[in-house]
Amino acid sequence: MRRLLALAGTCFGLVSLAWAVPAPNQGFIYINLQSKANHKLKDQFHDNAFTNNNLGSLPQGLQKFEGVPFKIGEKFVQLSGERLKTRPQKIEGIKVDKKFGQLHILHAAGWFAEEDALVGEYTIHYEDKTKETIPIVYGKDVRDWWYYKDSPGVSRSQVAWEGDNEGAKSAQGRIRLYLSTWKNPKPDKKVLSIDYSSKNTNAAPFCVAMTIEEKK
């Protein structure tokens, strides 16, 4: 009996220890884009000029890019541009319903735009009906998802992921996504939702994932 009690005590202690271990990626919450998403990672991207031109090589599930965890689903949100009229100009009501300190965005654009051109926006809607706007500027926040050896980076964001597909390879290029981090000026106010909109330039914005980081 004493052995059974000792064993039970040991097991209880292990369970307690397991509960005490901090959860991975603690302090980060993943925003679900899938209900608003309109294009699969593995589907042909933009046009049929290049075979297998897609984001199929991007790993799905829980991933970490430049120290920020994201949950990559099978689809992403693609907005319109001058060369992509079949996608919506605006996606409204991406649900958040949380307070947070920072917003991390994994995104890019299809095709090029003029340097410093405003290609899109994220609009943050707070519970008190106020809002904030996050501009998406070409060359600062995003560039074309295709790039080459001599392609410049971005000045305000950072390259988060690089990969390949057959279409880009056929043109001696590769593909990449950018990580933008926005510091919330009102971290004590609940954010209800986020709208995502395009300015319909030559560069068509797309967003793969969003993660919010709790206030520290």
Report pLDDT for 47. Answer: 67
Asked if residue 194 belongs to a domain, the reply is: yes
Asked if residue 118 belongs to a domain, the reply is: yes
Q: Which two tokens stand for residue 136?
A: 């998406």
Cβ–Cβ < 8 Å for 152, 142: no
Residues 6+ apart with CB under 8 A from 13: none
Q: Which two tokens stand for residue 34?
A: 């899938």
d(CA 54, CA 82): 20
Asked if residue 206 belongs to a domain, the reply is: yes
- Name the domain count of the chain: 1
Along the 216 residues of the chain, how does pLDDT read in single tens digits?
A: 333 333 334 333 333 333 233 345 789 999 999 999 999 999 998 766 789 999 999 999 999 999 999 999 999 999 999 999 999 999 999 999 999 999 999 999 999 999 999 999 999 999 999 999 999 999 999 999 999 999 999 999 999 999 999 999 999 999 999 999 999 999 999 999 999 999 999 999 999 999 999 988
In the block, residue with structure tokens 């981090």: 181
Asked if residue 4 belongs to a domain, the reply is: no
Report pLDDT for 24. Answer: 58
- The radius of gyration of the chain's CA atoms, rounded to the nearest angstrom, is 21
Report pLDDT for 216. Answer: 80
Residue 50: CATH number of its domain: 2.60.120
In the block, residue with structure tokens 């009996």: 1
d(CA 128, CA 125): 8
Asked if residue 162 belongs to a domain, the reply is: yes
Cβ–Cβ < 8 Å for 99, 164: no
**DSSP letters for 93-130:** EEEEEE--SEEEEEEEEES---TT-EEEEEEEEETTS-
Asked if residue 165 belongs to a domain, the reply is: yes
Asked if residue 95 belongs to a domain, the reply is: yes
Give the structural domain span for 186: 24-213
